[in-house]
Amino acid sequence: MDRLEAMALFVAAVDDGSLAAAARRHGRSAATVTRAVALLEGLAGETLLLRSTRRLSLTAAGDRHVTIWREVLARLAEIAPSAAAGPLRGGIVLTAPELFGRLKVMPVLEPFLRREPLVSARIVLVNRLVDLVGEGIDLAVRLAPLPDSTMTAIKLGELRILVCAAPDYLARAGAPASPQELAQHDCIGLNAEGDGELWPFGAAQAGARVRSVRVPTRLSLNNAGAAIDAALRGHGLIRARAYQVAEDVAAGRLVAILDAFEPPPVPVHLVFHPERGRGGPVRAFVDHAVPALRMELRRIASILHRTPQ
């Protein structure tokens, strides 16, 4: 093991709060991380990291050294990442909403892993806000306005929010002319409690604020893919993000309605800690994923723009 690799493993252990997490991040064994710490402590001639069963903590000497090593690793990554580290190796941990991750993120990640055979990935697809630092996550795809934070965020694009139904449902029940008429329709919700939902809408007048309309849901599910399937089979109206239904709208399997009342589109960002985004597998994946996901979001917008509403 060379000194640079030991430095990278040590910094990862400090950032992630455990030797095991650092090992997973870099695709190494926990014993390798332990040897890295021992190597650096031997070179320094003093204890740098205090380990207990519950946590890691830096000694005063360790704090001084890790500050220097962060700077060294960041400079090397910026100047000549391939020369400093050789073939790209290590791991990334990525989270995204379940359906967006399956449909849009995985097709971007898989060619990256084929290109970088020494890189591993752990993917967490969940429909909740994930604490990147607390849960040991490198990158997150967020489909929502972002709160203020110290994280780096790269905007990938926007997604419209559509209300859709199958043509046979509209032929049978008619199309609502305003959000208020949804109360007279069969609506499909993503609410496990099954007691209705608040659907946000804009107004036909430019500049009017968004208002939410309470919509009774005759059918409620806890999975977006299953809800869209139900809409395709004519069970009612569904509120969906553009990426979920663009192909079905373009093919005529679903019809977008109430487009004059659409709320503002949802922003899509790739979020990561600025320190981890400077080099290595995380930086490489960011550089790979950002143009690919931006292109896909533009394609979705283009499909809907060409489709008569």
Residue 296 is predicted with a pLDDT of 94
Q: In whole angstroms, what is the distance from residue 177 CA to residue 185 CA?
A: 12
Query: Could you tell me the CA-to-CA distances from 10 to 35, 94, 194 in Å, in that order?
Result: 10, 21, 49
Location of structure tokens 């591993």: 120
* Tens-level pLDDT at each residue, the chain (309 residues): 678 888 888 888 888 788 887 777 676 788 888 999 999 988 888 998 888 766 788 898 988 898 888 888 777 766 544 444 467 888 999 999 999 999 999 999 999 999 999 999 999 999 888 888 788 899 999 998 887 667 889 999 999 999 999 999 999 999 999 999 999 999 999 876 767 888 999 865 555 677 889 998 889 998 889 999 999 999 999 999 999 999 999 999 999 999 889 999 999 999 988 766 567 899 899 999 999 999 999 999 988 876 554
Residue 85 is predicted with a pLDDT of 47
Q: In whole angstroms, what is the distance from residue 162 CA to residue 262 CA?
A: 7
Residue 82 is predicted with a pLDDT of 47
Residue 166 is predicted with a pLDDT of 97
In order of start, what are the domains of the chain with their CATH numbers?
Answer: 3-85 (1.10.10.10), 90-159+266-306 (3.40.190.10), 161-261 (3.40.190.10)
User: Which has the closest alpha carbon to 108: 1, 243, 262?
Assistant: 243
Residue 81 is predicted with a pLDDT of 47
